[in-house]
Amino acid sequence: MGLSGETIRKIREALKSAFPNRDELVMMLHMELDIPESEVPNNSNYNLVVFNLIQQLDSQNRIPELIKGALNERPGNPDVQKVAQEINAIYSNVSNKSPLKSFEFDVVTVNAQGWKISRKRCRSQYFTEDLGNGVTLEMVAIPGGIFTMGAPENEEGSTDDERPQHQVTVQPFFMGRYPVTQAQWRAVAALAQVNKELNPNPSGFKGNDRPVERISWYDALEFSARLNFRINFTAGRDYRLPSEAEWEYACRAGTATPFYFGETITTDLANYNGNYTYGNAPKGEYRQQTTPVGSFSPNAFGLYDMHGNVWEWCADTWHDYEGAPKDGSAWIRNNDNDYRLLRGGSWYLDPGCRSAVRGRYYPDYAYDFVGFRVVCVAAVII
């Protein structure tokens, strides 16, 4: 939820008091939160280990779970007791005032062979936008934070255009729980034109709950413009395409592995070309088409289909990472001939649809493996 620096400091000091070294902290996290040691920050500076852990769990909305686990393991520690009272008050206040709804979901983690090694219960918040005729759009709250964008040189399948890795600070926003579906597309395509016409049924693989595809970058902009016109901006909500940094931050959801579910990918986890393998994982199914959104496990933010199914347009024009924005904003050059960014891979792509992978097409191109999802900066939710 984006805790204040002072609150993070209090949590850090309480955890250090209760668990004076990393080994004890790791044991608590494993016993109470089902977090393996490989996911716990590792640094010779224990202060930094605890600080990074808190930021990581805050970005995943798991701070109450962390404090509850610390209380269970160290019930008599006065520092943990005190910070638990403060955290309960903070989250109770947010819960009482927030118009957002909550949902729970399971997040899985796999090892290098693709075997599921852990499953944890997570919770996120969202609001629902009414698109008319019984069609809605679910927008998930993404907390702000700092993350490392791009891929390290030793990540299998990575390329030079995913480097240099760089730190990016992202402000809170909302993101579509799923890629825009065909039902949602038709609902918005029926609204008044803003800049260009929209084909209400462009997709090659038909289905209300399948992602809309054969959508150009300009089509995706028109969708956002019509949606904004419908709500007339008076609601304090502004829909748009995500920046590339926002997309990767949302996909990773606090992880630094090639995929949000771990070190590799299988066709039980995402829709891609299973004739090929990543790392030590086995071959799988090649479905040769899109799948209904939400068919696979979400990430720790509660977002589905961030790996595979359809590539997703971002707002940015194509660029190398040298000089990339550090504030999470889109990097846009005013040139209609520039490539636009795509993220996430697709049903047509090999298993290389990693969190850091980048794609590019001209903005007027539309393929049956390209779709999008929207983000929203919201001052007011009703």
Q: Given this model, what pLDDT does residue 133 score? A: 87
List CB contacts of 113: < 8 A, sequence separation 6 or more.
264, 280, 281, 282
User: Rounded CA gap, 336 and 180, in Å?
Assistant: 24
% of the chain exceeding 90 in pLDDT:
80
Report DSSP letters for 348-365, one per residue.
TS-S---TT-EEEE-TT-
Q: Given this model, what pLDDT does residue 381 score? A: 56
Separation of CA 5 from chain center: 23
Classify 238 as helix, strand or coil: strand
Question: The sheet that has 135-142: what strands, in order across it?
Answer: 101-110, 116-132, 135-142, 173-176, 375-378, 237-240
Residue 292's alpha-carbon distances to 62, 88, 128, in angstroms, are 28, 38, 19
Over 80: is that where the pLDDT of 172 sits?
A: yes
> N- to C-terminal Cα distance for the chain?
19
Instruction: Evaluate whether 283 touches 276 at the Cβ level (below 8 Å).
Output: yes
Q: Given this model, what pLDDT does residue 230 score? A: 85
Residue 317's alpha-carbon distances to 83, 285, 345, 350, in angstroms, are 45, 33, 18, 24
Mean pLDDT, range 358-367, rounded to an integer: 96
Mean pLDDT, range 189-216, rounded to an integer: 97
Classify 25 as helix, strand or coil: helix
pLDDT range class, residue 382, cuts 50, 70, 90: very low
In this structure, of 89-103, 149-163, 296-310, the range with the lowest mean pLDDT score is 89-103
Q: 10 Å Cβ neighbour count for 154?
A: 6
| CATH 3.40.47.10, domain 101-378, yes or no | no
Q: Given this model, what pLDDT does residue 379 score? A: 56
pLDDT range class, residue 324, cuts 50, 70, 90: very high
Omega before 211 within 30 of 0, i.e. cis: no
Over 70: is that where the pLDDT of 313 sits?
A: yes
- Please give the helix or strand (H or E) that residue 94 lies within, else none: helix 78-97
pLDDT in tens, 204-254: 999 999 999 999 999 999 999 999 988 865 567 899 999 999 999 999 999
pLDDT in tens, 5-43: 788 999 999 999 999 999 999 999 999 988 988 888 888
Number of H helices, E strands in the chain: 8, 12
Mean pLDDT, range 170-185, rounded to an integer: 97
Over 60: is that where the pLDDT of 98 sits?
A: no
**pTM attached to this predicted model:** 0.79
pLDDT range class, residue 335, cuts 50, 70, 90: low
pLDDT in tens, 41-95: 888 899 999 998 998 888 777 898 999 999 999 999 999 999 998 888 877 655 4
Domain boundaries, the chain: 5-97, 101-378
Largest Cα–Cα separation, the chain: 65
